[in-house]
A and B are shown apart, each in its own frame.
Chain A
Amino acid sequence: MTETSQRSRPLRVLAAMSGGVDSAVAAARAAEAGHDVTGVHLALSANPQSFRTGARGCCTIEDSRDARRAADVIGIPFYVWDLADRFREDVVDDFVAEYEAGRTPNPCLRCNEKIKFAALLDKALALGFDAVCTGHYAKVLVREDGTRELHRASDMAKDQSYVLGVLDDRQLAHALFPLGDTVTTKDEIRAEAERRGLAVAKKPDSHDICFIADGDTQGFLANRLGRAEGDIVDESGAKVGTHEGAYGFTIGQRKGLRIGTPAADGKPRYVLDISPVNNTVTVGPAASLDVGALTAIRPRWCGAAPTGPGTYTAQLRAHGGETEVRAELVDGSLEVTFTEPVRGVAPGQAIVLYDDTRVVGSATIAATVRATAGVS
């Protein structure tokens, strides 16, 4: 098996450059490996406050300039592509709708699935490129039969295979992750950027959610969905407080509940369930967060779908740890049982299944079964 980043045949590569240090170094490594690289910055947000009349600017003018500056130093052509409409439809609107439905979406994963390795990749292929290159930490290996495998990055601490778990074989065939085999700290990537004369070497890391610039997800959602006061209840259904919108909560959340009366046992309470239909948030003790099984929908496989039940390691959130599961495909949905109960599993998040370092597939968590009793 070989890594695509080390293949000798030069490819026409479109490097997605965010303006950050990782994607700049990735593009530089691809160019150094002999590929014919063109840089592209994706303009993903429309900014109504643009200075120029009638023009639609981009909220990331500075990022765009940083990316262009890096491209100029690497010595590759650079373009800005306006994918703001697609991004709004496929990522931002979806993000809001998911929260509104009481789920907790992962917009980065969605962006990889719908924008970087769909809208961008399709356009790149149509224009004659062979691959899209990003600064993700993950590895693509090629099997003897030519099909692809997605693996965790060499550096587990940096690994981003979770947010790429939605990619299928065709998408992986056109993906290049030059940082995937780097065992390094961010400082070393920064040092490499410095060595390469890239000014983004000292640029701070970006926010988790790029389209919420100030990091205030609650404020962003409140702005979109409005205030909707409702009840906070305990497991017996008794009202213990009020909230200003059920969408503002995530399963497992402890902070910010603002419940006046303490629990009978005096222990902290957590969000157990969000019910958008009656705008109710259910809270309870940590023990009630334990999940023993779950159902996940929209499974996507890296390679062939498993034919029978199997034992895998699973990752349930972007920076989460690994846990052992048994999983089986039943009527198109993934039925997952945990060997040990896990705490705080939020519908809407992805479950990514691994066989050692290899990504087997991913699916979106739809419903969880408590380790103790009852379906939530």
Chain B
Amino acid sequence: MAYLDHAATTPMLPEAVEALTAHLGVTGNASSLHAAGRQARRTVEEARETLADALGARPSEVVLTSGGTEADNLAVKGLYWSRRDADPARTRVLASPVEHHAVLDAVHWLGEHEGATVEYLPVDSYGRVHPEALREAVARNPQDVALATVMWANNEIGTILPVRELADVAAEFEVPLHADAVQAFGQVPVDFAASGLAAMTVSGHKIGGPYGIGALLLGREYTPVPVLHGGGQERHVRSGTLDVPAIASFAVAGRLAAEQREWFAREVGALRDALIEAVRTAVPDAILGGDPVDRLPANAHFTFPGCEGDSLLLLLDAQGIECSTGSACTAGVAQPSHVLLATGTAPDLARGTLRFSLGHTSTEADVEAVAKAIGPAVERARAAGLT
């Protein structure tokens, strides 16, 4: 079996499994005052410090959430509400059109239900937002911008965005910028303080931690309106009893992601390069998606003209190769990816995509399996054509 869908989720690190299971048997609500509560709180706060350290942030800037989707929603909706409450003129939301649906659908919802004017920033053919594009959009009326949101690295095509430069532009106009760094963490240097971002999303299960845990890195001057109201945990921004075992495990994975990032970029990057080479050799007209250089080291995205991505998926799955078309909807009906359409890819072409994403367990054998299977699979999928 060749698992090449690490961007969907990656196997848990043994150290993270150990931390998780070690804490599952321990009782304690981190909000309680007694000894059990104090012990739980200590575990949580040490984990918070570890995560802050791994991400170049202060511990108080780490707001723990149930995952990337919740962190994105909290950043986008919460910052919109708080900025609009402070000044009703601030209703403009600037977003890249290549965001994950956790951001895209939240932004769209604000437009539909909360009076937001949503403006999608232009991107180049690699899906990158240029700082000048952000400047142009903000400068049109800096007073009415509630927030801007871009992703640090694209989950489908792997392009890395110039977050630091974008944050500089936002800061110039005192506009908070949020970045979804779910795919970037562990693959490229992610330093919250150095980035200049107001808020940043990370997730546990994409870096070898458990499902259902993530964090919003949030500058101390920001107080987003909560999405979840309740007991007032996490700076009163995110209520809910803290999931101590998941948090402890997330911290272990986060520490290892930061420590092993250079190894990951080098070793996994080399495997990824071999995979790209193998696919290009087998299918010379395959088109590599995203920036050829400035991309996530584990991402290889291809468009195969004349193929249905779903057909390729089925054929590769039958040979034990697990990858993705890069986009999916709840009903499972393949849609041309919004990311590809935003980069100017023709809709018919955008249907023939595959995303191979590697990770810490990837091997040369995985690459060889793809090298062997991709040529015949593309040939067969082309024969089946586009329905």
Interface residues of A (CB under 8 A from B): 38, 41, 43, 52-58, 60-61, 64-65, 68, 77-83, 85-86, 119, 122-123, 126-128
Contact = CB atoms under 8 A, between A and B. Distances in A.
Contact of B314 (A54, A65, A127): A127
B311 A127 contact: yes
A165 to B, nearest CB: 25
A60 B387 CA distance: 19
Interface string B330-368: 111111001000000000000000000000000000000
Contacts of A65: 331
Chain B at the A interface: mostly helix, strand, loop or mixed? helix
Nearest to B101: A52
B195 to A, nearest CB: 29
Contacts of A52: 101, 105, 329
A64 B332 contact: yes
Given A77-B317, A127-B315, A57 B333 contact: yes
A58 B387 contact: no
Nearest to B384: A126
Contacts, number: 68
Contacts of A122: 384
B318 interface: yes
Contacts of A123: 311, 384-385, 387
Interface of B: 101, 104-105, 108, 310-311, 313-315, 317-318, 329-335, 338, 380-381, 383-385, 387
Contact of A57 (B101, B311, B329, B338): B329
B334 A82 contact: yes
A119 B385 CA distance: 11
B380 A55 contact: no
B333 A82 contact: yes
A78 B310 CA distance: 11
Given A43-B331, A77-B317, A128 B310 contact: no
Given A127-B311, A127-B381, A54 B338 contact: yes
A126 B383 contact: yes
22 contacts: A43-B333, A52-B105, A53-B104, A55-B335, A56-B335, A57-B329, A58-B331, A64-B331, A64-B332, A77-B317, A77-B318, A79-B310, A79-B313, A79-B314, A82-B387, A83-B387, A86-B387, A119-B387, A123-B385, A126-B383, A126-B384, A127-B384
A123 B386 CA distance: 9
B329 A55 contact: yes
A61 B311 contact: no
Contacts of A54: 338
Contact of A128 (B317, B330, B335, B380): B380
Contacts of B333: 43, 56-58, 64, 80, 82
Nearest to A64: B331
A60 B330 CA distance: 11
Contacts of A81: 310, 387
A175 B232 CA distance: 61
A106 to B, nearest CB: 23
A84 B271 CA distance: 39
B126 to A, nearest CB: 21
Nearest to A53: B108
A134 B310 CA distance: 21
A64 B329 CA distance: 12
- Count chain B CB atoms within 10 A of each CB in A61, A119, A127, A128 and give the residue with the most: A127
